[in-house]
C-alpha cells in the first residue's frame, strides 16, 4: 500500500518538477559566465507558477515522510 502511494507521489513529483519554468540563463550561462551566479536571487512567483511550486514542495515533504514510514515498517 505505501509502496504504491510512494510510486504515485514520485511520478507526480517528477511531472511537476518538469513543468516548472527555468529560473536561470540555462547551461550556456554556466559556460560563458553571463549574469553571474544568482542562487539566492529574490524572484517572485505568481499565478500558476506559484501553485506548481507549492504543490512540488508539499509532494517533496510527503515523499520523504513516506520513505521514512516505509523504512520503519
Per domain, the residue ranges of the chain are 1-17+47-73
Which range has the worst mean pLDDT, 18-22, 30-34, 65-69? 30-34
Is residue 40 predicted with pLDDT exceeding 90?
no
Is the pLDDT higher at 71 or at 27? 71
pLDDT of residue 21: 76
Q: What does pTM read for this prediction?
A: 0.71
d(CA 55, CA 69): 21
User: What cell numbers appear for 26 in the block?
Assistant: 540555462
Write the CB contacts of 6 (distance below 8 Å, at least 6 apart in sequence).
Answer: 63, 66, 67, 70
Rounded to the nearest angstrom, the gap between the alpha carbon of residue 69 and the centroid of all alpha carbons in its chain is 21
Amino acid at each position: 500500500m505505501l509502496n504504491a502511494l510512494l510510486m504515485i507521489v514520485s511520478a507526480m513529483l517528477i511531472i511537476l518538477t518538469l513543468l516548472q519554468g527555468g529560473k536561470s540563463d540555462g547551461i550556456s550561462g554556466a559556460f560563458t559566465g553571463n549574469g553571474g551566479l544568482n542562487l539566492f536571487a529574490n524572484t517572485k512567483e505568481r499565478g500558476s507558477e506559484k501553485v506548481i511550486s507549492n504543490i512540488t514542495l508539499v509532494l517533496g515533504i510527503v515523499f520523504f515522510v513516506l520513505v521514512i514510514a516505509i523504512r520503519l515498517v
